[in-house]
Structure 1
Amino acid sequence: MLPLLDDIRLIAFDLDGTLIDSVPDLAAAVDAMLGDLTWPPAGEAKVRDWVGNGSHLLVARALADAGGSAADEATLSRAHARFLAHYRAAPCARTRVFPGVREALDALDARGLVLALVTNKPAAFIDPILEALALRDYFRLTLGGDSLPEKKPHPAPLLHLAAHFEIAPHHCLMVGDSRHDIEAGKRAGFRTLAVPYGYNHGEPVAASAPDGLVESLQELV
């Protein structure tokens, strides 16, 4: 086990870009939404740089890219509804678990650590994806971007976890792939661990100065 895990009792994981590669399905939903608006598709490469701040910002970024400027609220609302409909129809057709994730979750669960999930993805999509990928049973609590009034990088979801399980923040670890995960963890008083293979808007996550960085979550075993 990494020294970073010493005295850690709770680990909060991000989902997209940390545990799973969901961009293929997100990109398909984005492109279908753009098609509904008679705009050309964005493609997977662009979407990979847009995810991480929740579905509203993902759609807003896609519309701004397609239209050359920010969309008005009515267009954004309509487009967001279309995106959710397309994504709901196939949230896990091509989404895959990153290598090393199952091994890490197995080992951490066996040690009796509290494992939780904190994502900015809408909560309604969490369980269907986790169930489809056989990951649901690892997590004692899951929080989506709309589960609480605030979402990452605000520390509120992480502080909610710590309070729920009655574990002091300095005994908790936030694991993620983006600057928003690291900022949320630091602001909540959690230790932070980053993976470099996820979605961080084209920036190296190491620039956010996490307490640790691993190439694969299997290094936690």
Structure 2
Amino acid sequence: MLTANIGDIQAVAFDIDGTLYKPLDLHARMMFHFFRFNQFFLQYGIVRSKIHDMGVLDDFYATQAEMLAKRIGCGIDAAKERLERIVYKGLSPFFESIPLCNHVEETFHALHDAGLKIALMSDFPPEQKGGLWGLRKYCDVLLGTETTGALKPSPHPFRVLAEKLGVSPEHILYVGNSVKYDVVGAKDAGMKAAHFEPRWRNLFGMSCRKADISFCDYRQLRKIVLQ
């Protein structure tokens, strides 16, 4: 566990995918869906990878559909339909039975009771996760970065998040499992960053040095923030 002085934290924001639940739990559930549309997901992944580096787009969904249409050889309207059917609505059922990582809900409860604002921000629509496993009642803001026109690690969605929270970036701690997208994006926007890392990184002393906090158990995060 790596800890720096995080100062006066007034809000804690969390990434969703891979941070609140384990990626393997999703992959196991969507395996047959992925293989059914494996070529689509391959091209979709390439498009998303490029969009991550494109900054703020005037019309995110139009650009995404246009890029995907060119890669899979169809019209833009057909690409939009496939995105909705295969990705946005298609993946939604697989989230219903995914268990949260240990001690997530009790951490949200403790942060909420301590008077901290709580937010969720993901590169995918939060509403795709339905009731968000009972965490919605603790949250002040839910934000999908697509609606801001840019994906992480662009600092733009992080700044939009800060505006919606009504809290200056330097008083926000952003929690995520990706160094490239969560830690770097948050730090570039002026926030503090906490990296949710695999336990083996902690055991071998390989914690992320870019993050203000590195943790592998939500009880550690709760203790650090509320100390």
User: How high is the TM-score relative to the length of structure 2?
Assistant: 0.69
* AA of the residue aligned to 1:188: A
Aligned-partner Cα distance in 2 for 1:211–1:59:
31
Change (3 A) 1:151 1:208: farther
SS of corresponding position for 1:210: coil
Confirm or deny that 1:152 pairs with 2:152: yes
SS of corresponding position for 2:120: strand
Change (3 A) 1:60 1:15: closer
Change (3 A) 1:13 1:184: same
* AA of the residue aligned to 1:146: E
Alignment-derived partner of residue 57 in structure 1: 45
Confirm or deny that 1:116 pairs with 2:104: no
Instruction: Give the C-alpha shift of residue 144 in structure 1.
Output: 1.5
Change (3 A) 1:6 1:184: same
Is there any run of 5+ residues in structure 1 with no aligned partner, and where? 43-49, 62-69, 199-203
SS of corresponding position for 1:167: coil
Aligned-partner Cα distance in 1 for 2:112–2:5:
17
Structure 1 vs Structure 2 CA RMSD: 3.4
SS of corresponding position for 1:156: helix
Alignment-derived partner of residue 178 in structure 1: 178
Higher helix proportion:
2
Is there any run of 5+ residues in structure 2 with no aligned partner, and where? 50-67, 200-204
Alignment-derived partner of residue 139 in structure 1: 139
SS of corresponding position for 1:107: helix
**1:140-185, CA deviations, whole angstroms, 9 ceiling, x for partnerless residues?**
1111232210121111121112122332111111111102100111
Conserved 8 A contact 2:89-2:128: no
Identity %: 23
Change (3 A) 1:183 1:217: same
- What are the within-5 Å matches in structure 2 for residues 1-221 of structure 1? 4-29=5-30, 31-36=32-37, 56-57=44-45, 72-74=71-73, 77=79, 80=83, 81-93=85-97, 95-126=98-129, 128-130=130-132, 133-179=133-179, 180-197=181-198, 206-207=207-208, 209-219=210-220, 220-221=222-223
SS of corresponding position for 2:194: strand
SS of corresponding position for 2:157: helix
Instruction: Give the C-alpha shift of residue 197 in structure 1.
Output: 3.0
Instruction: Give the C-alpha shift of residue 32 in structure 1.
Output: 1.8
* AA of the residue aligned to 2:198: Y
153-162 or 18-27: bigger deviation: 18-27
Change (3 A) 1:85 1:111: closer
Alignment-derived partner of residue 47 in structure 1: none
Conserved 8 A contact 2:141-2:165: no
User: How high is the TM-score relative to the length of structure 1?
Assistant: 0.71
What is the aligned residue count?
189
